[in-house]
Structure 1
Amino acid sequence: MKVILQKDVLNLGDAGDLKEVADGYARNFLIPRRLAVRANDGNTKVALHQKRLADLKREKRTKVMKDLSASIEGKTYEVKVKVGENDKLFGSVTANDIVLAIKKTGVEIDKRKLDLGEPLKALGEFKIKVRLAEGVAPQILVKVVGEA
């Protein structure tokens, strides 16, 4: 059965794609969950139009993210944290702390875009990847500095 995907489906395709799938998969999974519709002439034209709009939107977003990437790429951001004896941190530096340091320079970034892996629990410099969009992932340098 030919279907037009309404949403991105893992291991099948992106929204707007025309796919040939098993009848049972389409009837029992894709169509009831509104992930796809049965392909016919009218639906195909609408799907192609939606795909073009989605591509334009994605290109525009990527362009904006590349501009944002150029403004933060390679810069150093300083995060001050309280430390105790032997420069041991009280707590850790989280994505939210880093976003606040970036915000002081006038750039807004969502904390979910930062790829920390795990919170920073030591003083020093750390390279952090910022996943802005597909193919746009600048690296920033975060300097964790202690204050007594």
Structure 2
Amino acid sequence: MSKLILTNEVSGLGSAGDVVEVKNGYARNYLLPRGFAVLWTKGGEKQVESIKAARDARAIATVEEAQSLKAALEAKAVRLVVKAGVGGRLFGSVKVSDVVAAVSAAGLGELDKRKVAFVAPIRNAGEHLATVRLHGDVVATITLQVVGKK
């Protein structure tokens, strides 16, 4: 078993700053090469505090704020205009950063791109869903209206 400090949030494992113990292969082949974690050391404990402080600075302060942001995000659809070809097929796909920028442009608030996930990859124009984990158990579902332009 390897003891690691997570530098990014890994679903099913923990969030940034958590100290976790995982199997050697998972650490060696997935977490460490992608930069999701670093090896735990005694000196790394100082690093844990700075990672947690940065995470807390980005986090939404209270559950009430998260609930109000959830209500605002779910109240209206977010419109995304992307390049598309014949039949509404997109050139590429919609990225998380596109969704974060569209939500910000719509005046609905700032989102952390690491907390946004798609239900399915978005490669066609139309209506799609994305989920945003705002605070603990508060998860908002955003309706995205993807419109193709030539």
Instruction: Find the partner of 1:135 among 134, 137, 140.
Output: 137
Kindly indicate whether the alpha-carbon contact (under 8 Å) linking 1:95 and 1:119 is maintained by their aligned counterparts in 2.
no
Q: Which residue of 2 aligns with 1:80?
A: 81
Task: Verify the 8 A CA contact 1:74 1:141 in the aligned structure 2.
Answer: no
Matched residues in 2 for 1:59 and 1:121: separation?
Answer: 31
Distance 1:136 1:83, change over 3 A: same
Structure 1: which 4+ aligned runs deviate by more than 6 Å? Answer: none
Task: Specify whether residues 31 and 67 from structure 1 end up closer, same or farther in structure 2 by C-alpha distance, changes over 3 A only.
Answer: same
How far the C-alpha of 1:117 sits from its partner, in A, is: 5.4
Partner of 1:69: 70
Note the C-alpha offset of 1:120: 1.2
Counterpart position of 1:91: 92
Contact 1:74/1:138 (CA < 8 Å) preserved in 2?
no
Deviation (angstroms), 1:33:
6.0
> Which of 119, 124, 137 in structure 2 is aligned with 1:122?
124
Tell me the equivalent position of 1:48.
Answer: none
Return closer, same or farther for 1:88/1:31 CA change in 2, 3 Å cut-off: closer
The offset of 1:142, in angstroms, is 0.4
Q: Is the 8 A contact 1:79 1:143 kept in 2?
A: yes
The answer (yes or no) to whether the contact 2:80–2:102 under 8 Å persists in 1 is yes
Cα distance change, pair 80–118 in 1 and its aligned pair in 2 (3 A): same
Residue equivalent to 1:32? 42
Q: State the TM-score, normalized to the length of structure 1.
A: 0.57
**Code of the aligned partner of 2:131:** K
Over the matched positions of the two proteins, sequence identity in percent amounts to 33
- Does the C-alpha gap of structure 1 residues 60 and 98 become closer, same or farther in structure 2, counting only changes over 3 Å? closer
Please state how far the C-alpha of 1:95 moved relative to its aligned partner. 0.9
TM-aligned CA deviation for residue 122 of structure 1: 1.1
- Where do 5+ consecutive residues of structure 1 fail to align? 1-6, 12-29, 36-57
Letter in 2 for 1:81: V
Aligned residue type for 1:116: F
Q: Is the 8 A contact 1:125 1:144 kept in 2?
A: yes
Unaligned regions of 5+ residues in structure 2, if any?
Answer: 1-16, 22-39, 46-58
Q: CA deviation at 1:59?
A: 9.4
Bigger strand fraction: 2
Greater gyration radius: 1
